Amino acid sequence: GESVGLHLPTLSVQEGDNSIINCAYSNSASDYFIWYKQESGKGPQFIIDIRSNMDKRQGQRVTVLLNKTVKHLSLQIAATQPGDSAVYFCAEISSGNTPLVFGKGTRLSVIA
Amino acid sequence: DGGITQSPKYLFRKEGQNVTLSCEQNLNHDAMYWYRQDPGQGLRLIYYSQIVNDFQKGDIAEGYSVSREKKESFPLTVTSAQKNPTAFYLCASTPQEGINYGYTFGSGTRLTVV
């Protein structure tokens, strides 16, 4: 398949283990954050979001943690599956009318 | 089904040639965006439009042009002034209302200069 990122940071995990993907954001005024998953040759898909007035949000098998003090965002995936293999991006936005700003991404590789 | 459609999926351009990438959405979204993706990098914003007949430059607009004559359509032209156009291009759309920032992405166009 096509590669969307030849030199991205890579995280390799065993199937069934938990994964933690980290993201440092730059704008202290950002008030909304989103995690996207991108499979090879496809567009990004929404995973989970969080607003700046929260520090944790849970979805199905995924949890996002936000630490505004150090401008850090993380995505935790429980019981990682081969289908979770993809590139994961965090994105931030500082106001309602400004476009999303994306981080560089992390490639998650699940070892069966 | 509602969605956002990009075409073509693959596009080859000769040196000095202009090419246009199509992006169409039937989600009734107000805002549309073009991003460029290179290996080892995240998505970089080229142009965006929040309303028909209006658009703004993003971070890397040089060598590109857009139009927004219809709400549903936001084509991107890669001109001969773009010196390194080989990349994966992604179009996205979103409602303009303040609560929902969720972007819907197309499946992308991979442009290669030959």
pLDDT value at residue A15: 97
Quick one: pLDDT at residue B1?
Answer: 58
| Cα A100 off chain centre by | 14
Nearest chain A CA: its distance from B80 CA (Å)? 24
Peptide bond into A9 cis (omega under 30): no
**Cβ <8 Å between A103 and B42:** yes
Could B42 and A96 be called an inter-chain contact, meaning their C-beta atoms sit closer than 8 Å? Answer: no
The pLDDT value given to residue B31: 92
CA distance A95 to B98: 9
Chain A hits for B25, Cβ within 8 Å: none
The predicted structure's pLDDT at residue B110: 95
Asked if the model's pLDDT at residue A4 lies above 90, the reply is no
Higher pLDDT, B74 or A92: B74
| Residue of higher predicted confidence among A76 and B2 | A76
Question: What mean pLDDT is reported for chain B?
Answer: 91
Q: How crowded is residue A95: how many other Cβ atoms within 10 Å of its Cβ?
A: 10
Q: What is the pLDDT of residue A2?
A: 38
- pLDDT at A5 > cutoff 50: no
Stronger pLDDT, B51 or A7, i.e. the higher one: B51
Q: Which residue of B5, B29, B34, B37 to mutate against A (max A Cβ within 10 Å)?
A: B37
How many other C-beta atoms can be found within 10 angstroms of the C-beta atom of residue A3? 14
Residues A48, A63: Cα–Cα separation, whole Å:
8
Q: What is the pLDDT of residues B6-50, one digit of tens each?
A: 999 999 989 889 999 999 999 999 999 999 999 777 899 999 999
What's residue A3's pLDDT? Answer: 37
Beta strand B54-57 with B76-78 is unpaired
Whether residues A49 and B41 touch (CB distance < 8 A) is answered with: no
The percentage of residues in chain A with a pLDDT greater than 90, rounded to a whole number, is 70
| Percentage of chain A modeled with pLDDT above 70 | 92
Chain A positions touching chain B (beta carbons under 8 Å): 2-8, 32, 34, 41-46, 49, 89, 93, 96-97, 99-105
B73 to chain A, any CB pair closer than 8 A? The answer is no
Mean pLDDT of A18-44: 92
Among A4, A7, A96, select the one facing B88 at the smallest CB separation.
A4
Does residue A23 carry a pLDDT above 70? yes
Give residue-wise pLDDT tens across range A74-111: 999 999 999 999 999 999 988 766 788 888 899 999 99
